[in-house]
Amino acid sequence: MNSTTDSGAASLGELSMLAQNLGSPRILVVGDLMLDRYVWGDASRISQEAPVILLKADRSEERLGGASSVATLLAALGAKVDLCGITGEDSASLRVRSILDDLDIGHKKVFADPSRPTTVKERYIGRAQHRHPQQMIRVDYEDTKPINKELEERLLEAALASLDGVGCVQISDYDKGVCTPGLLVPLIREARRRGIPVLADPVRGGDWSKYQGSSTLTPNRLEAGLAVGRTLETVQDALAAAGELLEKFGLDVGIVTLDRDGMALVRPDGRAHIFPTRPRQVYDITGAGDMVMAVLGMVLATGADFAMATQLANVAGGLEVEKIGVQPVTIAEILGDLQASGAITHSVENSRGKIALETEIDQRVNEARRMGRRIVFTNGCFDVLHAGHVSYLAEAKRQGDFLVVGLNSDASVKGLKGPTRPVHPEWARAAVLAGLEAVDMVTVFEEQTPLSLIRRIRPDVLVKGADYRLEEVVGGDFVTSLGGRVHLAPLEPGMSTTNALEKAKAFEKIHLSDGGGNEPRAGAA
């Protein structure tokens, strides 16, 4: 297929409007149900029994996985979901149904198969030094043989009976035996006859002919590469593969998800689009594909086109990888992320390009250094900006010519200050800092300390508040070893974010005790 690449991108305003008007469509989800178990704890040491990490467990959690994960994500977005699949007849099945009831997800079309266990994936998550958690091992309990003909016929009858009033059919194939050709082929044919879009998240490898005639498939880079018989190394490779899949399986559009490179989309007329994703802190890719599926289904159920659906799904998939395990992404989070993108763009345009993405740091700093400017670096959370911050940053700027502010990310602030912080998200904090005359560049860092960023920037002067001692300043030894210096800036007495928040809480308490509608009277207790 000859294709022409164009942006095809909707504006942030258009995407925000779409996200706010997704409504509550009815969506039928067909596929493999699973129960995901998580055991969390500190990876404290090596076991004395064997050369393995000892996990000191402190909590456990159960969530729905597979097709039931897609149903969960759809319900969190506001959809009315009917789920069609199977479980075993065991305690895990009871737990799956209990969670579905709690989430108000219909499961009358979920049948029990006593010949197999409910699919369970058990993950053990360890925290190193009480910090960011990482998956250590996964244990699976499953039987992947195809369902028998009797169950296949029952599922097909139930699914066909559910099509009235459905805005989208979603097929979630994890190769656990439910998504047989005998179920999918007639279901896809009837749904398309009725004009209902059908999305299929295909199995890795295997025969994809059972998805013939779907509206689209949502393979990742590896799955699409296996389907076309070659490795997809570039976005152009992905676009070519998307075009091949479109033609081979009679799709409305071809889509390939590309993790850090975003999503590729090809239309029947040859127009091709790459929708990039912005850089994110990736904690766990689990559930990103399910999240993409869920948002695609929600958007297509409204009648919007694939380009709009793909862009919004791309945002939601990016938000999902910032979470541990499969956790719902809400409309509010999607709107917040779109707002963040817009605010950052606005701040760059209106603050002489002061906010630097991770990929722009070296160029910005090196350019300033070539112009003979002395580089000054400081860092902080800058959560609730007050006069003390303004004075501090002005003092920092007086130490040189080009002030770089390292801003703790939201995750970093939460780790330092606790679960109630930050008050303002990183994009908002960056925008405010960029509006200050003293600040020449703002960049966000994810770590608990700015040491890596300091080593990268190699400032001439490192500035911290006078409440530190010289030997306590992170990166101080490194800067002085380069011939630079550390400056301890005086602080405004009584000015701190903590004090500001405590005063706000005290005012709110007095305000509410006065009836919530009047300013507190002079002398009120």
pLDDT in tens, 238-268: 999 999 999 999 999 999 988 777 888 999 9
In a domain, 517, yes or no: no
Count the alpha carbons within 13 Å of 166 in the hemisphere toward its beta carbon: 26
Q: Is 39 helix (H, G, I), strand (E, B) or coil?
A: strand
Task: Tell me: do 278 and 194 sit in the same domain.
Answer: yes
Contact at 8 Å (CB) between 266 and 239? yes
What pLDDT does residue 494 have?
59
Q: Which residues are catalytic?
A: 290
Give Cβ neighbours of residue 251 (< 8 Å, ≥ 6 apart).
214, 215, 216, 217, 245
State the Cα angle at 422 between 420 and 427, rounded to 5°. Answer: 150
**CATH number, position 285:** 3.40.1190.20
503 within domain boundaries = no
Instruction: Please state, in angstroms and as integers, the Cα–Cα distance from residue 13 to each residue in 5, 294, 305, 341, 419, following that order.
Output: 23, 21, 16, 11, 31
- With respect to residue 511, please indicate whether it lies within any of the assigned structural domains: no
Same domain, yes or no: 272 and 291: yes
Number of CB atoms found within 10 A of residue 154's CB: 17
Together in a domain, 169 and 269: yes
SS3 329: coil
Q: Are residues 290 and 254 in the same domain?
A: yes
Q: How far apart are CA 365 and CA 459, in angstroms?
A: 9
Do 466 and 335 share a structural domain? no
Residue 318 belongs to a domain: yes
- Is residue 19 in some structural domain? yes
Q: Do the domain assignments include residue 37? A: yes
Domains held by the chain: number: 2
Q: Are residues 356 and 300 both part of a single domain?
A: no
* DSSP line for 411-442: HHHHHHH-TT--SS-HHHHHHHHHTSTT--EE
| pLDDT score of 13 | 72
Peptide bond into 422 cis (omega under 30): yes
> H/E element holding 306?
helix 306-320
Tokens read off for 373: 């400017």
Based on the fold, state whether residues 423 and 452 are members of the same structural domain. yes
Residue 196 lies in a domain: yes
- In whole angstroms, give the CA distance from residue 204 to residue 173: 9
**Tell me, what CATH number does 434's domain have?**
3.40.50.620
Residue of 217, 312, 220 whose CA lies nearest to 260: 220
Q: Beta-strand (E) ranges in 302-398?
A: 375-380
- What does 255-291 look like in DSSP terms, one character per residue? EEE-GGG-EEEE-TTSEEEEE-------S--TTHHHH
SS3 109: strand
What pLDDT shows up at residue 367? 82
**63 and 144, same domain (yes or no):** yes
Is residue 413 domain-shared with residue 363, that is, in the same domain? yes
- Domain boundary among the residues 341, 367, 399 is at 341
Look at residues 68, 101, 96, 93 and name the one whose alpha carbon lies nearest to residue 83. Answer: 68
- The pair of three-digit structure tokens given for residue 339, joined into one six-digit string: 């707002």
Verdict on whether the full-model pTM lies above 0.85: no
- What residues of the chain score a pLDDT lower than 70? 1-10, 129-132, 277-287, 320-326, 340-353, 493-525
Q: Are residues 165 and 254 in the same domain?
A: yes
Asked whether residue 504 is domain-assigned, the answer is no
**Nearest CA among 217, 37, 218, 45 for reference residue 126:** 45
Closest by Cα among 266, 250, 263, 252 to 289: 263
pLDDT digits (tens, 9 = 90+) for 493-505: 655 555 554 544 5
User: Which burial class, exposed, middle or buried, applies to 468 when counting CB atoms under 10 A from its CB (0-12, 13-18, 19+)?
Assistant: middle
Q: Scan for tokens 């676009």, then name that residue.
A: 239
Q: In 130-185, which ranges are E strands? A: 133-141, 168-172
Identify the domain containing residue 408 by its residue range.
351-493
Reported as type and span, the H/E element at residue 311 is helix 306-320
Mapped onto helix, strand or coil, the DSSP state of residue 406 is strand
Predicted pLDDT of residue 350: 39
- Contacting residues for 334 by C-beta, under 8 A, at least 6 apart: 19, 295, 312, 315, 316, 319
**367 lies in the same domain as 296:** no
Cα 3 versus chain centre, distance: 30
Q: What integer pLDDT is reported at residue 342 of this predicted model?
A: 56
Q: What is the pLDDT of residue 375?
A: 95
Q: In terms of domains, do 319 and 395 share one?
A: no
